[in-house]
Every structure is written in structure tokens, then in C-alpha cells.
Structure 1
């Protein structure tokens, strides 16, 4: 479960939440999801498979998603649309993100050595990072604390240039097509790849920058949404059964549930561990922006996600012309379930109704960490 520490600033809450989550993760070897701001910047830390030799030096593979830590963001022009975080992010710089990751690894390594009965003095931050490539070769690197950056859209609340340029050049970036083109034009990162469309088999990821056990792909219906605004990023990894995987599906603006059918019908099977989808319905007079809780509930039911986690729901400080036309509906999970009952009436009986009762919605606030069990 997530932790809420009242009367704590976000950075203090982050430290306390991580300590609890890391301790539990080590005993269960499960992923950790950390909300780094109140909006849609996430750190997903996936334990290395126990057979991976890099486990001797790293416990988790750390993926930074849509980093925007401080400062404003503007699309088109400031007079048209500009936004700022309403509350400070739990981490203000990429250096602080790296410090969080080092603390996680230090805590994990200390716990592992204690479990083995090894009496050894460790200093936080000590030691090199060992990277194991697809050929099994080991290379020492100093500074690649973040393993991967994923950018879901070219809009600057997801592709925030000032934050991204703080990240070391050697960290690989995977981004959707338009975002990748823009990021490449900055000539900062050594590796910028495009997130491929999900092929139906999570084990066939074409990116050599990723470990062979990890897949990052885009779920979207071709040709229907030119901007792929309503799409999803899927991060998949082994579940433990032969060939089967589990996934975290991140859709900050929401996705039409039918477009998720390739995931629900995948072979080998994909178990959706967590669906990151917001509650708030946000629109302009002629455009649906964030699809909100009603859509999220339908997506959750289709996928059978173990966790539904809110994202991109921060009520930001805004300015520009667009702010006058923006329409925001505050919808709760209860509201969404009640509407489902009204729409489907007698059809919602038995297993469907029981499934709705079992929905585990987590609203991770700024600085909270959740163990995905």
C-alpha cells in the first residue's frame, strides 16, 4: 500500500516512503513505482531477474518517465498556453533523482548483505555501476544512475527540455516518433530511439539498448489519431511463468479501451500489473484531452489491471489563451462505477460486478512510492 505522511514536505515524504517500499520489495522482488511530482513524472524501478549477472552490482533497473521537475512549460507560445506545477516536485533536479536512485541501491545492497550475514562497512554512493550488454560483456560506467528515459509525447509537459538536458548524455532515451525527432535535434543524448508499436509479443523488442528481458512499446490504433495523443506506453518484463509477461501501461491522456485489445489478447499472455490513467476529464470546446475516470474504468476492466494509478491530474497554475477555454470535470472512482451501473444496468452482475469491487485504485501523491505486489 502507499504511504501518506501528513505535515511532511514532498522530499521528506519521498525518503520515508522509499525506505518502507524498498524493504518490502527486497523480500518479494517486486517493482517499485515512485511519483516524483504531483503530475505525471514517474520512476519505475524493476528488479533485475535473479539470473542476470548485473544483480551483483545493481538491484533495480530504473526507468524515468516524462520528466518535468521545475519551471514552466509552454506549447506553441507562452501567450497561447503556459503552465507551472502548483506544488514543488519532490525532487527539483536530475541530480536529486540520481541521489534517490543511489539511496535505493545502497539500501538494497545493504539489506542483501545483511541477509547473507556479511559484515561489511558500506558508504552510501560507493562503487561503480556495472552495465551488462546483450552479449554478456561487463563495462564499468560512472554516472549512468538512470538506466533509461521514456518520453510519451512531444508536448512539453512530457518532453520538458530544461529537465531532459540535465540528464547525462550517455543515458539512452526512448520516445514516441515526433518527440524522438525533436530530442535528436538538440544533439545532447548519444542514443535516442523511437518507441516501436507493440508487435503482439512482448519478448521481441528491437531495441539493443534495452536488456533482453525488457520491452518498451507503444499501444495505439494506427491511422485514427495522427498525434497519437490517446495512446499508451507499455513496459513489459517477465512474470515468472514460461514466456508470460507482466506490464505497466502508462496512458497520461487516456486511450480508447478497444485500442488495448492487442494487449488483452496477446500471446504469450501479458498480465497488466498497473494501469496509469487519470481521473479528470479535461477538454476544449472541440477536442477531448484527458479521457478521465469513466474511460479509465473501462480500460481497467478490459485489462484486468491489478492496480489502477492516477496520473496527469495535477491542477496546475496556467496562463495563456487556452486556459480560458479549458474544461475540467473532477470525477471520482465512485462516480465512474455508479455511471457504469446506470449504463449497463442488469448486465452488471456476477463476476463483472465483483471485478468492479476489487478495483485497487491508488492516488499516489507527490513523493509517494508504491510496491507493485
Structure 2
């Protein structure tokens, strides 16, 4: 315990002020997004509904996305492609992720004595509720990091990634992420147990993308609904048809994660969802990355601008833009164009002026683009 002199010191007062600010912010009960490395590993914390926290336990439902925290990664073979992070991950291990989660819980007033690691499904002792993996490539599906995660934590992954992860025989349950397709799709139909009924994980893909490289994960949630409303919501069951959805409350939000970018036209099912979904945060990188023989890897900032104009997301956050240390054959053929949002807007404006013959202004529809650095976090208000 600090002495009276220490308690009155500027540093102690600053710490106390910061702690009070954090506590007040956490009391709002909004999602929190943490960037765990300089590349594309994220922790998304979604507040659990008041009814779920009324008897104590954790405040947040925790989704770990594409964890690659240390070590190298290689696809096909090391001579073909191998990479390492250029910057040490701010959160360097799964144990550190657990500590981060618990620190937030303590500040938010959750996790009572003896319940530090209690999960929503009552299985295992990890504070990580679910892991989501968007691609089978090892910078997203990193075995060394994933095998630090407890065996009882469920994994939601795209088909090829799910098959790969199952082959390791580490996790007890691995689920394939369902697609979000068709007009009038109800997000609750993609809430597959063991996900709680107020959260779903789905995937947006472009029909023209045969390899589903330019796709997106969609984390949809409604933490305002009452339990009685959630109980009425239809849920997707493996291979079984579901009843027509009832009339639903419109308070639904989502976070879209697309490390390589997603074509704007692929977002149409999400725009036409029923009940409607508001995009709270759009995670899409700025760098345009390709291979010299014509393969487009990351779609870049101009694609992000087009997609954002459709989504009108409150936040746009960059991802997968770390210029990693690389080796192998592919590294010799990588081409990278780096633009900021402001530079891209100026390019668009110049193009419009040439085409229309008059001064035009390209806008981003009030997107709040934020560069969330290695180890930084954002409250999604």
C-alpha cells in the first residue's frame, strides 16, 4: 500500500485518474477491440447482456481472431515463402492474452472471486470464449500460437482452415463458419452453438472469387435484446431447415474483419439483412499488395473506400499492413503500394476532375478511420 506521500505524488494521482477514466468508460458496456500485434491478430470483446451478468461472472465475451503472436510462418515450403514479424507482438503469448482479458474484467467490475476463468459454456478454464480463423494460410492459422490455446476453447474457421486445425488433434471442437448469403438473411440463423444466442459468426464471400481469398468474417451481436426475444430467434442447425424468423428487434451491430479485403458487391447480403445490421467497425487494410505475375493479394485503400461507402461503418480500422521480414521465392515478386486514406481521396478527386471536367470532392462518408497500432485498443462506442 503506498504511503501518504506516495499517494499524493503526481504519478500516483495520474494513475488514479487514468484508472477512474477507464472504469467510467468500461461502465458504458460497449465492445472493445485490441490489436495484439502489428499485423492482423485481434481480440474482440463483446459485452454480455445484463441478464447474463446479473449473477456475477465475466462482463465480456472474448473472441480471439487470427492469432499469430511469435515465431515465423511458412506456406507451401520455406524456400517458397517464409515470414517473421518485423515488430515483437505487444501481447506475446496466449497467457498474456488471458492476463489482458482479466485486467479488463477487474477494471469493469466483473469476474468475482473463484470465477476468474469461468466460460459461458461452463467448459474449461480459459477466458478466451472462442477463436476465429479466416484463412488456412499460416499467418492467419498459426499452429504454434493456436496450440497455446486451451483444448476446450471452440474454434470457428473457414473450411480449409478447419480441416487443417482438426488434423492437429489439439482442439476438441472445430466448427466451419457458415456463409452469410441471400437477401433477407437473418443473422441469428448463423448463431451456431456453442455461441451464445446474442452472437453469430459468419462469412461474406464474392461468388467470383473461386478461392475465397477476398472474403470477410462478420461478428454480429445484439446485446440489448431481452432473453425472451433471444429465445424466439431461429438458429441454424447442421443441415436442418429452420422456421421463418419472427419479427425482430432492430438493435443489431456487427464488426467486419477482412485482412485481404472484400469486394464491395459481396457485401450486398449484409446490406439487405433482415433484421437490419448496423456496421460498427470495418477492419480492412490500406496496403495494395500483389505478386508481379498478376495475383492480387491485399486489395488496398481504394477498395476499402468503396466498401466503406456501402457500409457507412462508424469506425474503419486498418489491418494486415505490417511489412514483415521475409524470405523465399515469393518475396522477390511482391509488389506493395502504400497510401493513406487522405492520399487515396486526393487520387480519387483528381480522377473525378479529369472525367467530369470540374472540381469534385471525393468523400469517405464520415468514416472514422483509425490506425490502431501494435498493443493499442479502441472502445467501439
TM-score, with length taken from structure 1: 0.84
CA contact (8 A) 1:54 1:132 kept: no
CA distance in 1, matches of 2:365, 2:88: 34
Residue among 146, 167, 180 paired with 1:185: 167
Q: Which residue of the partner structure matches residue 268 of structure 2?
A: 261
1:111-150 equivalences under 5 Å are: 126-133=114-121, 139=122, 141=123, 143-150=125-132
Q: Which residue of the partner structure matches residue 308 of structure 1?
A: 316
CA distance in 2, matches of 1:183, 1:362: 32
CA distance in 1, matches of 2:60, 2:54: 10
CA distance in 2, matches of 1:24, 1:313: 32
Structure 1 pair 21–311 and aligned structure 2 pair: CA distance change class (3 A): farther
Shift of 1:20: 8.2
Residue among 195, 199, 218 paired with 1:214: 199
Segment drifting more, 334-343 vs 21-30: 21-30
The Cα offsets for residues 24-45 of structure 1, whole Å up to 9 and x where unpaired, read as 5423211000000000000000
CA distance in 2, matches of 1:104, 1:55: 19
Residue among 202, 220, 242 paired with 1:236: 220
CA distance in 2, matches of 1:151, 1:26: 27
TM-score, with length taken from structure 2: 0.82
Q: Which residue of the partner structure matches residue 277 of structure 1?
A: 284
Structure 1 pair 37–172 and aligned structure 2 pair: CA distance change class (3 A): same
Unmatched runs of 5 consecutive residues or more in structure 2 = 1-14, 226-248
CA contact (8 A) 2:345 2:362 kept: no
The structure with higher relative contact order (CA 8 Å, sep 6+) is 1
Structure 1 pair 128–54 and aligned structure 2 pair: CA distance change class (3 A): farther
Segment drifting more, 143-152 vs 201-210: 201-210
Shift of 1:142: 5.1
Structure 1 pair 90–29 and aligned structure 2 pair: CA distance change class (3 A): same
CA distance in 1, matches of 2:102, 2:162: 28
CA contact (8 A) 2:47 2:223 kept: no
Structure 1 pair 19–32 and aligned structure 2 pair: CA distance change class (3 A): farther
Shift of 1:53: 4.6
Structure 1 pair 354–26 and aligned structure 2 pair: CA distance change class (3 A): farther
Aligned partner of residue 301 in structure 1, secondary structure: helix
CA contact (8 A) 1:22 1:104 kept: no
Aligned partner of residue 356 in structure 1, secondary structure: coil
Shift of 1:344: 4.0
Q: Which residue of the partner structure matches residue 37 of structure 1?
A: 37
Structure 1 pair 142–196 and aligned structure 2 pair: CA distance change class (3 A): closer
CA distance in 2, matches of 1:221, 1:24: 41
Q: Which residue of the partner structure matches residue 12 of structure 1?
A: none
Q: Which residue of the partner structure matches residue 115 of structure 1?
A: none
Structure 1 pair 83–301 and aligned structure 2 pair: CA distance change class (3 A): same
The Cα offsets for residues 43-74 of structure 1, whole Å up to 9 and x where unpaired, read as 00010011225762010000000000000000
Q: Is 1:195 the equivalent of 2:202?
A: no
Segment drifting more, 180-189 vs 19-28: 19-28
Question: In angstroms, what is the RMSD of aligned CA positions?
Answer: 2.6
CA contact (8 A) 1:24 1:371 kept: no
Shift of 1:244: 3.5
Q: Which residue of the partner structure matches residue 60 of structure 2?
A: 60
Runs of at least 4 residues of structure 1 off by over 6 A? Answer: 18-21
Q: Which residue of the partner structure matches residue 116 of structure 1?
A: none
CA contact (8 A) 2:286 2:300 kept: yes
Q: Which residue of the partner structure matches residue 210 of structure 2?
A: 226
State the aligned residue count: 336
Aligned partner of residue 103 in structure 1, secondary structure: helix
The Cα offsets for residues 123-178 of structure 1, whole Å up to 9 and x where unpaired, read as 7xx53544445xxxxx4x55221000000000000000000011000000000010
CA contact (8 A) 1:239 1:246 kept: no
Shift of 1:209: 1.1
